[in-house]
Amino acid sequence: SSKEQVDMMKVINDTLSLLREKARKKSISLESDLPVSLPLIEANKDQMSRLMINLVDNAIKYTPRCGKVKVRSYNEGEKLILEVEDNGMGIPEKDLPRIFERFYRVDKARNRKLGGTGLGLSIIKHIIEEHQGQISVESKVGEGSKFIVELPLNA
Ligand code: ATP
Ligand code: MG
């Protein structure tokens, strides 16, 4: 996929605008913690939007009413860091190694009413690999989840 110089500040703000209504319907506060400026990154802009939308969509979806979702981004050396944190239902430790697999969904019972195909995170993983980046997750059942993405400024 073709790469260009991408302004992640804009990608993040567009994602927040797009998903604000979805968060509002669940009375979830959608917050951001962003620096005054971020360096541009060499990336595919559509894929960066897809990445942010899928992460923030999950955070809203798997967080109960009146919860909180926070997006952070900052520059660290030759990398750009993106963090999406929620105080939602969390992911059991035994499922963590598998959530990036295609069609994998934690606990079919809890997920049935939320809907979805189990593809969001596998798409994210593919996008991050195309950009020589990394993704990690910290999560605790009943407390919340934090997805951390590291992307090189020059892919
Ligand atoms: P789709 O994204 O295709 O609509 P999905 O959200 O179920 O479906 P993924 O985004 O791939 O699929 O996520 C896989 C599973 O990981 C989810 O079913 C959910 O159980 C778990 N998960 C993902 N993000 C979170 C989160 N922020 N909090 C709790 N669980 C999560
Ligand atoms: Mg999803």
Q: 111 vs 51, which has greater pLDDT?
A: 51
Q: Choose one of 99, 108, 112, 141 to mutate for the ligand 1 pocket test, by most ligand atoms within 8 angstroms of C-beta.
A: 99
Q: What is the pLDDT of residues 104-148, one digit of tens each?
A: 988 766 767 787 888 999 999 999 999 999 999 999 999 999 999
Per-residue pLDDT, 98: 94
* Res 8: pLDDT: 98
Return the DSSP state at 146: E
* Residue among 106, 70, 91, 102 nearest 136 (CA): 91
Upper half-sphere CA count for residue 5 (Cβ side, 13 Å): 3
What pTM does this model have? Answer: 0.96
3 Cα: distance to centroid of ligand 1 (angstroms)? 27
pLDDT at 116: 85
SS3 130: helix
Of all ligands present, the nearest one to the C-alpha of 84 is 1
Residue, of 114 and 88, whose pLDDT is higher: 88
| Cβ partners under 8 Å of residue 46, min gap 6 | 1
pLDDT at 108: 66
- pLDDT tens sequence across 60-81: 999 999 999 999 999 999 999 9
What residue owns the CA closest to ligand 1's atom 25?
58
Among the bound ligands, the one closest to the CA of 59:
1
- Specify the pLDDT at position 107: 79
In this prediction, residues 14-39 reach a mean pLDDT of 98
Could you tell me which of 136, 56, 137, 141 has the C-alpha nearest to residue 90?
141
Give the chain's mean pLDDT. Answer: 95
DSSP 8-state class, residue 62:
T
- Spatial CB neighbours of 71, under 8 Å, sequence gap ≥ 6: 12, 15, 16, 30, 31, 32, 33, 34, 52, 56, 82, 83, 84, 85
Query: In this predicted structure, what is the pLDDT of residue 78?
Result: 98
- Contact present, 84 and 71 (Cβ < 8 Å): yes
* CA distances, 6 to each of 10, 12, 50, 99, 135 (Å): 9, 11, 13, 28, 19
- 69, 15 contact by CB (below 8 A): no
* Band of residue 150 on the pLDDT scale cut at 50, 70, 90: very high
